[in-house]
């Protein structure tokens, strides 16, 4: 026993300090951007398991279900807590996040307000369910959200997808991005 600390406690402390060191990457971040952009879901999971400091150096979180709604969160009632690996993340249109987001399975957008704080932070999607209520997407946003090609359930209630010139996207173009869809409404 050394003072108030046992030898076992000190060993745990020094091990924790050693383990909290950042991992050096051989690639610069712009190369990591390209690697991450081209990862499929399984490769992303393997990277998260084998490269435990990846989140801290790259600043990306992996979310299984992302739900975006329009109500304002009261910080004292429901604080926004973000961790590198999340099952559910609830965001409002007013939330400002600094992390990049990889959405793994489900995305629900339930708002009419612009998502200028959130959509630019989504850099990768491998969705199975995409449900959008009363929010109009651009073709580029829709392309990003459907890039994984694994969507089986698409719901666009009261929503439109438009090109940058405000023309509506044809159903054939919408369907071409979701070849595995089983349910569409």
| pLDDT band per the 50, 70, 90 thresholds, residue 131 | very high
pLDDT digits over 82-127, tens only?
776 778 888 888 888 888 888 989 999 998 888 888 888 888 888 9
The distance of Cα 7 from the centroid of its chain, to the nearest Å, equals: 42
The helix/strand/coil state of 84 is coil
**pTM assigned to the model:** 0.72
pLDDT digits over 132-149, tens only?
999 999 999 999 999 888
Range from 7-16, 70-79, 92-101, 124-133 carrying the lowest mean pLDDT: 7-16
Residue 177 backbone phi and psi in degrees, to 5: -85, -10
Closest CA to 180 of 146, 135, 132, 144: 146
* Cα separation, 36 vs 132, whole angstroms: 26
Other CB atoms within 10 Å distance of the CB of residue 63: 24
Phi-psi region of 45 (alpha: psi -120 to 50; beta: other; left: phi over 0): alpha
Residue 170 backbone phi and psi in degrees, to 5: -70, 150
* Cα separation, 84 vs 100, whole angstroms: 10
pLDDT digits over 19-68, tens only?
444 555 566 767 766 776 677 667 766 776 676 555 555 667 888 899 99
**Per-residue pLDDT for 80 more than 70?**
no
* Cα separation, 69 vs 60, whole angstroms: 21
* Cα separation, 69 vs 92, whole angstroms: 5
Report pLDDT for 184: 92
**Per-residue pLDDT for 163 more than 90?**
yes
Q: Which residues contact 172 (CB under 8 A, 6 or more apart)?
A: none
């Amino acid at each position: 026993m050394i003072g108030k600390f046992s030898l076992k406690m000190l060993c745990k402390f020094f091990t924790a300090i050693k383990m909290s060191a950042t991992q050096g990457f051989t690639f610069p971040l712009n190369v990591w951007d390209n690697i991450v952009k081209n990862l499929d879901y399984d490769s992303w999971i393997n990277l998260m398991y084998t490269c435990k400091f990846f989140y801290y150096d790259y600043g990306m979180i992996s979310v299984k279900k992302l739900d975006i709604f329009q109500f304002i969160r009261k910080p004292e009632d429901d604080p926004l807590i973000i961790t590198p690996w999340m099952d559910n993340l609830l965001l409002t249109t007013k939330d400002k996040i600094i992390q990049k987001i990889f959405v793994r399975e489900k995305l629900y957008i339930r708002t009419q307000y612009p998502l200028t704080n959130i959509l630019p932070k989504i850099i990768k999607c491998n969705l199975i369910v995409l449900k959008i209520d009363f929010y109009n997407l651009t073709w580029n946003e829709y392309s990003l959200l459907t890039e994984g090609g694994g969507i089986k359930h698409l719901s666009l209630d009261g929503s439109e997808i438009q090109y940058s010139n405000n023309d509506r996207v044809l159903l054939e173009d919408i369907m071409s991005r979701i070849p595995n869809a089983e349910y569409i409404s």
